[in-house]
Structure 1
Amino acid sequence: MAGIDERWTAQVVKGAGRLGVDIGPEAADLLAAYAAELLAWNRKCNLTAITDPMDVAEKHMVDALAVVPYIPKGSRLLDIGSGGGFPGIPARIADPALSVTLVDAVRKKVSFLKHAARTLKLGGVEAIHARAEELSEEEGRGQGYDVVTSRAFSAMDIFVPMALPFLKPGGRIIAMKGKGFEEDLENLKACEADFASRGIFLATEMIRYELPFCGAQRALFVITMGDLP
């Protein structure tokens, strides 16, 4: 696809490196193939409002890779509200040992996720059309994941209670947030207080970062029950 070329790949590798993520040649090629599929499918179904290839490189691929240092190697990961596959697919490309479940309530998005995983030959990736609240009741799902992620998905007082039933003991929730994340922090504090009143204590670390080329501010909220490992 036009715009997904060596310059594009170099931009992703450079940007990821600035966020502490090493992307080798094979992973870089997979990310390029993924971006091409995303933009091709976006012509017929609304997967992303970002359509310039270089913007996709930074605002989707590099941004999604920011989560990688906080996901233990070989984890079982659940990505709620995965949409076009962020951050789940880039995280799986960066760490082939990950087992990734992508969940979205929009069927056409899940069709794309299945297509992308099949086309890129990404083993250990499943895409499910469901609401997360319903999925947690399935056998093997509750307390079945090391990490639960979301990216610009919902308010923290909605996402955290939704994610907690999926976590194994010692697991972590990672919420990726864009501009306005200060509001998310206040919302999370209220959520923590509510859980504490019920005897459930959450430990949160907020990691600020900026996209390496445009300078946009971002934050990760890494949440565990008790102290971070």
Structure 2
Amino acid sequence: MSHKKIKNIIFDLGGVIINLDVPKTYKSFAKLGGMSEHQVIAMVESAPFFDDYEKGLISSVTFRKCIRRLLKKNLSDEEIDQAWNDMLLDIPVERLSLIEELKGKYNLFVLSNTNDIHIKAFNEIIHQSYDLNQYHGLFDYVYYSYRINKRKPDTEIFRHVLDEQNLIPEETIFFEDNSDNIKGAGSLNIQTHWVQSNKLNLGFIRDEFL
């Protein structure tokens, strides 16, 4: 794959910019609900409200009510938010430093399936290791699924970014850790690079794009 024509770089957020450990949230919900982790995973995979929340179709208040019904526990907002945010780990500053190097040489974007509770926690993590305004200044635009009512891997979310930013797919590369989302982007001829979760290859990006 040649990257010589690339003018636009889109980064996923979780597992690419911020490290993730999704099983930590499953374990936390299991502990709160007094059930096994396998039971929690099965319920999460069959419950549509998680996708609805990431599409911004339900509020955080409704999401928490759904969690209480799912776990059959009268949990506090704080207990739910903590468990939900347990999957969010650190943001290696060297990743942000590399993006700083790319700024000005490429059009840079973030495209993430996420939600209001996670973004508030993410912003706090940014504050601890970086600067929130400086972070947003790295990118031409940041797209969060819950704000635009679209979610990966649906092609409409990729079309939304391409059309709004007037991007040519063949001149655009997407760094993503989810194979289904890679396929969604690739179906529109967006170049893609699969990131093994939490292992963004900084050396590869520096060699290929700087």
TM-score scaled by length of structure 1? 0.34
Looking at secondary structure, tell me which structure has more helix per residue. Answer: 2
Looking at secondary structure, tell me which structure has more strand per residue. Answer: 1
With CA pairs under 8 Å and 6+ residues apart, which has the higher RCO, 1 or 2? 2
Higher Rg:
2
TM-score scaled by length of structure 2? 0.36
